[in-house]
Amino acid sequence: MNDKIRIGIAGYGNLGRGVEAAIAKNSDMELVGVFTRRDPQTVSAAAGTAVFPWSALADHRDTIDVLVLCGGSKSDLPVQSPELAASFNIVDSYDTHARIPEHFAAVDAAAAEAGTTALISAGWDPGLFSLNRVFGEAVLPDGETYTFWGRGLSQGHSDAIRRLDGVAGGVQYTLPVEAAIEQVRSGIRPALSTREKHTRECFVVLEDGADAEAVREAIVTMPDYFADYDTTVHFISAEELARDHAAMPHGGFVIRSGNTSAEHSQVVEYRLALDSNPEFTSSVLVAYARAVHRLAAAGQHGAKTVFDVPPGLLSPRSPEELRAELL
């Protein structure tokens, strides 16, 4: 008897490929296939992965235990998550922090009516970082929480650079300021401005004949994106960009610094150092797919977040084994 958890992947970009790789690392799961809005003939997936057109999702209601949604937060997930939660248990990585309440409400309505379980906003931020903010605040109520991101490639800021006149290509890295991290770690709870927490570093390929100084000025003064930060701009060749900046590293820190008495301060630090942001995010989605499968089996329907999931449900191990081996 095959009792593996049957996973479907809806959307096949960096995140979808990461989910495909993560399922191969989890022996209690199997991949039913990838569902794409492109022509399946044009999609080259890993050996053994079935590729279906998006329309085939309707035929797979009974053969998929959990569907992992790998679309973007801007235009895909706000539509897809409520729509697919009406037919499937789902996990998504919706990461527009300010709009999470409305996304939750839309998905919850669909999932509650359909009797499915839908976990939204999994990943690392939102996701594991959010959990550490909750644990930190609950354990050290008299304290401050600090989040630092990086060193990491920022997709949004890289896009902003590439839209500028004279720019042929480029990437942007967000870097946490080490001195600020050290201050926070010391337990003193500093007030830190935006500029004191992060710097930004850009690697830019100019178009032929473009004015480097004008491009640099346009970047460092760009409101919202760069004006509030100390920003460094390096000009490189297209070859260097392709060779040295194709990876998508990221990570960061959540630090809670608090006092349990007048005499004693305590510091809790959670840190991620990721070679590949999309592969790590995908691995989190897959672990939460296991939990969703179990919550659904237990009749716990509707929308959920990482705050609602008992951590033991993420593990393939039994509760007895977890208590004996990992507690």
Q: 3-state DSSP call for residue 128?
A: helix
CB 146 within 8 A of CB 192: yes
Q: How many helices (H) and strands (E) does the chain have?
A: 11, 14
**Rule CB under 8 A: is residue 315 a binding residue for a second copy?**
yes
Binding a second copy (rule: CB under 8 A), the pick from 270, 292, 293, 302 is: 270
Token code pair at residue 209: 């004949």
> Measured from the CB atom, is 217 or 275 closer to a second copy?
275
Q: Quick one: which of 119, 123, 222 has its CA closest to 170? A: 222
**Rule CB under 8 A: is residue 307 a binding residue for a second copy?**
yes
**Rule CB under 8 A: is residue 185 a binding residue for a second copy?**
yes
**Rule CB under 8 A: is residue 141 a binding residue for a second copy?**
yes
**Rule CB under 8 A: is residue 310 a binding residue for a second copy?**
yes
Binding a second copy (rule: CB under 8 A), the pick from 79, 214, 242, 273 is: 273
**Rule CB under 8 A: is residue 138 a binding residue for a second copy?**
yes
Q: Check whether the bond before 151 is cis (ω within 30° of 0).
A: yes
User: Would you give the DSSP letter of residue 127?
Assistant: B
**Rule CB under 8 A: is residue 44 a binding residue for a second copy?**
no
Binding a second copy (rule: CB under 8 A), the pick from 211, 237, 260, 297 is: 260
Alpha-carbon gap, residue 7 to 256, rounded angstroms:
36
Q: Check whether the bond before 126 is cis (ω within 30° of 0).
A: yes
Name the one range near a second copy by CB under 8 A: 5-13, 54-62, 162-170, 312-320: 312-320
Q: 3-state DSSP call for residue 120?
A: coil
Cα 74 from chain centroid?
14
Applying CB under 8 A, the residues found at the interface with a second copy are 18, 21-22, 25-26, 97, 100-101, 104, 121, 126, 128, 130-131, 133-135, 137-142, 185, 187, 260-261, 263-276, 279-280, 282-284, 287, 290, 305-312, 314-316, 319-320, 322-324, 326-327
